[in-house]
Amino acid sequence: MARIVMKFGGTSVADMTRIKAVAARVKREVDAGHEVAVVVSAMSGETNKLVGYAREASALHDAREYDTVVAAGEQVTAGLTALALQAIGVNARSWLGWQIPLRTDGVHGKARILGIDTDDLTKRMKDGQFPVLAGFQGLGPDNRITTLGRGGSDTSAVALAAALHADRCDIFTDVDGVYTSDPRIVTKARKLDKITYEEMLEMASLGAKVLQTRSVELAMNHGVRVQVLSSFVDAPGTMVVDEEEIVEQQVVSGIAYSKDEAKITLVKVADRPGIAAGIFGPLADAAINVDMIVQNVSEDGKSTDLTFTVAKADLDRTVQVLESRKAELDYKAITPDPNVVKVSVIGVGMRSHAGVAQTMFKTLAERGINIQVISTSEIKISVLVNEEYTELALRALHTAYGLDAA
């Protein structure tokens, strides 16, 4: 007998037919004698609708009331899933975040989980009850409803799996696993049987929307075995596991891309101490995240170009902040460029293999693709290239690293 947390995303609970299919899927594990806890998202599209209502009610909405509104979608699916389970003879019971309680900090709209009280849950599970939890929501320090940020029910599920010491956390979604690259672009992309936490973390933060980044962090920190699989097809998915569990590690496991970034160059900015702080300090104060940064050595010792990337959505604000500091920063011009894509190759095998970056540079060069910015970490190399090369770059790299399906 195993203890399993099963999480179903928005498309898996999109309507009553799907919810009944979910109940049948859960019943299979129940019938196999497992202890099962279920976590559900809102029906797909529902949270967007609720966010829209909150914005319409008040542009500068009170974050606490926003959470009261957007948490509602999960209440509906938790209740309906419990009903659908009861209808097929499973002793299910719904739980909202506050009823458990799942405690969070007070950062409404993006709260972090502080702890889950599992005493009552475990007792009931031992007595043969199957809890169905509303994902995405928790209880803040002032006893108000909080939500965990978009995609947060993944994090609810992993946190619950950690708290219950579950053997596995199955995340059911509309894709059947984690792929070596986006299968819509790279037709030869393959589903991975296993991927390490660290690689998954990079992929999630690079915009592969399968799992909320925070859920992967949590899984890694608590050693929760996560499986990403589809609720539409009956097949094993991708296991997210510790590096040691992967016997034959590829040097590169995946190629990700993000069109969410924009590039900004400050032309001929003064080259003196304090300038970087003068640029990035005000951006941080404006809650603008900066990702890649390159600065050249100046030729004349007085000024140099500085290029960096921010989220596309922050581009206009970034330009505004920098323009308001023009006098102090002493630059000649700002050139914003939203038409870029960040392409990244990811793999823990990079730690022990040389020449991985060279393969990337050479492959792109052979296709005539100019690299604008490069950044690297221990297990990732990212380059910024013109957006029009997205498909070409992904496919060429996928082949170059030997990832193509046979």
User: Which residues does the annotation place in the binding site for substrate?
Assistant: 47, 74
Instruction: Select the residue whose beta carbon is closest to Mg ion and give its number.
Output: 151
Integer Cα distance of 8 and 15 in angstroms:
13
Q: Toward ligand ASP, which CB reaches closer, 152 or 347?
A: 152
Choose the one of ligand ASP, Mg ion, none that binds residue 349, judging by a C-beta under 5 to 8 angstroms depending on kind: none
Q: Toward ligand ASP, which CB reaches closer, 71 or 381?
A: 71
One of 5, 6, 7, 9 touching Mg ion (CB under 5 A):
9
One of 11, 12, 47, 253 touching ligand ASP (CB under 6 A):
47
State yes or no: residue 349 binds Mg ion (CB under 5 A). no
Q: Which tokens is 57 given?
A: 């009610």
Q: Toward Mg ion, which CB reaches closer, 54 or 228?
A: 228
CB 278 within 8 A of CB 328: yes
One of 4, 6, 8, 10 touching ligand ASP (CB under 6 A):
10
One of 68, 104, 153, 213 touching ligand ASP (CB under 6 A):
153
Number of residues counted as binding Mg ion (CB under 5 A): 2
Choose the one of Mg ion, ligand ASP, none that binds residue 238, judging by a C-beta under 5 to 8 angstroms depending on kind: none
Choose the one of ligand ASP, Mg ion, none that binds residue 42, judging by a C-beta under 5 to 8 angstroms depending on kind: ligand ASP
First to last CA, the chain: 37
* Shortest distance, position 114 Cβ to Mg ion, whole Å: 22
Binding-site residue ranges: 7-10, 47, 74, 173-174, 179, 184, 209-210
* Shortest distance, position 30 Cβ to ligand ASP, whole Å: 24
Please list, in sequence order, all residues whose beta carbon lies within 8 angstroms of the beta carbon of residue 310, skipping any fewer than 6 positions away.
261, 262, 264, 283, 288, 289, 290, 291, 318
CB 139 within 8 A of CB 101: yes
Integer Cα distance of 227 and 210 in angstroms:
11
* Shortest distance, position 87 Cβ to Mg ion, whole Å: 26
Residue (of 123, 113, 236) closest to 170 by Cα position = 236
Binding pattern for the stretch 113-152 against ligand ASP, x by CB under 6 A and - elsewhere: ----------------------xx-------------xxx
Q: What residues between 67 and 86 interact with Mg ion by CB under 5 A?
A: none
* Shortest distance, position 213 Cβ to ligand ASP, whole Å: 12
Number of residues counted as binding ligand ASP (CB under 6 A): 13
Integer Cα distance of 180 and 404 in angstroms:
9
Q: Toward ligand ASP, which CB reaches closer, 180 or 215?
A: 215
Binding-site residue ranges for ATP: 7-10, 173-174, 179, 184, 209-210
Binding pattern for the stretch 136-175 against Mg ion, x by CB under 5 A and - elsewhere: ---------------x------------------------
One of 23, 73, 169, 329 touching ligand ASP (CB under 6 A):
73
Binding site for ligand ASP (CB under 6 A): 9-10, 41-42, 47, 73, 135-136, 150-154
Binding site for Mg ion (CB under 5 A): 9, 151
